[in-house]
Amino acid sequence: MQDLRVTLIQCELYWHDAPANRAQFEQLFAGLKGNTDLIILPEMFTTGFTMEPETLAEPADGETTQWMLEQAAQLDAAVVGSMMVKVGEGYRNRMLFATPDGELHHYDKRHLFRMGGEHNHYEAGDERVIVNFRGWRIMPQICYDLRFPVFCRNRNDYDLLIYVANWPKPRRNPWRTLLQARAHENQCYVAGVNRIGTDAKGLEYSGDSLLVDFKGELAIDGGTEELLIETRTLDRVALDTFRDNFPAWMDADQFDLKL
């Protein structure tokens, strides 16, 4: 099984301006072609975390979706991030996983952040998703999902857990702590990508994007509140060897997840 090169991009976001954000990320992608397999962007990377999907949501196959597929093909790397999409008569906070060969996977945020009113504007997802990419089993999650470990319990069915977020600075400690906890309890790599800067509502974001290995050690720490574009290689042999030597997952409690 091959290793996987993962790139975290932590940056500010233009408020409610999808073209400006897409243009920004195209600039930030410079130099990544041939040097990474997977590029992770923040939650709602085209708009910032907003409760106005009625005027800003795109169709599921809209301009940003096509842009992600184009970028993935050009970079020969998967491009991952969340955006708001219109589904039927409702809206979803949807994480898209665009691959270089034109495949498009998606995960709809299961746990909506009620303290911000997200549940009043979006529909919750009802599917636990695992994406197979370049020999790695990857589970996508979005922001508030991080606080609910039962939903993401590893059933020996994934190797990398991804969280994209707009996680405010006052709650940075839970963000950092829980990302490391998810790596420990699930014996997997965990990538968490957050934004920086201040949004139009006055909320500040500290970044703190992390790449955590299966022992809970930090491989990338974006706790500088600055632009971060950083790539690390996930070691497949080391992960498999650790799981073989310490197979705690075999003693996990069995349960049925009812959504």
Closest CA to 106 of 136, 134, 127, 135: 127
118 catalytic per annotation: no
The alpha helices in 16-152, defined as continuous H runs, are 18-28, 53-56, 63-75
Catalytic residue among 109, 118, 152, 188: 109
Tell me which of 43, 58, 152, 188 is the catalytic residue.
43
Q: In Å, how far are 68, 79, 116, 128, 257 from 198, measured between CA atoms?
A: 25, 24, 16, 31, 37
- Cβ atoms 46, 25 nearer than 8 A: no
User: Does residue 143 have an active-site annotation?
Assistant: yes
Find the catalytic residue in 11, 58, 118, 143: 143
DSSP character at residue 146: G
Q: How many helices (H) and strands (E) does the chain have?
A: 5, 15
Residue 94 and residue 83 in contact, taking contact as beta carbons nearer than 8 Å = yes
What residues are annotated to the active site?
A: 43, 109, 143
